[in-house]
Amino acid sequence: MVSERLFNALNDQYNFELYSAHIYVAMAAYFEDQDLEGFANFFKVQEQEERFHASKFYTYIAEKNGRIRVDGIPTPENDFESIIDVFKKAIEHERKVTERIYNLMNIAMEEKEHATVSFLKWFVDEQTEEEAMFNKIIKKLERIKDDPNGIYMLDAELAQRVFTPPANA
């Protein structure tokens, strides 16, 4: 049975996933303003993923007979120094998400709430993928530096990204 403590933590994560989506919309808007549609697309897809994650938390809380709590969403940062600044802030945010998922997992394991442990396993794996993806892009950006051709090529690559909900989720 899910404790009140665990329901509160799951609700906090539900709201944090919505906040994450909000952050990525702000990052997409920054790139739209820079006429970098591929980079904007990357963060629009990231926003869709975060909303999908929030939806998974919403559904899980409801399935476990919990009360879903919707909180206010803080204003995200809207101004950035550069392309790489955006990605470094994004990876910092993803690391916070990972820490939060680990903390949720710790609570679930401590309370021997096996269904929640099983549910959270997907998020542990997802965060590994998220951090790896951002790290790869940051490495490419560090190699590219301010080379317009490299930025153009990466922009074209990121324009190809699409959101496809995982079949096993």
Q: Running DSSP on this structure, what letter comes out for residue 82?
A: S
CB atoms within 10 A of CB 78: 12
Structure tokens at 60: 């899980």
**50 marked as binding residue:** yes
Nearest alpha-carbon partner for 9 in 141, 163, 131, 116? 116
**129 marked as binding residue:** no
| CB contact at 8 A, 69 and 11 | yes
**94 marked as binding residue:** yes
CA angle 107, 112, 114 (to 5 degrees): 100
**47 marked as binding residue:** no
**If you count them, how many residues does the chain have?**
169
**127 marked as binding residue:** yes
| CB contact at 8 A, 16 and 97 | yes
Residues making up the annotated binding site for Fe cation are 17, 50, 53, 94, 127
Residues tagged in the binding site annotation: 17, 50, 53, 94, 127
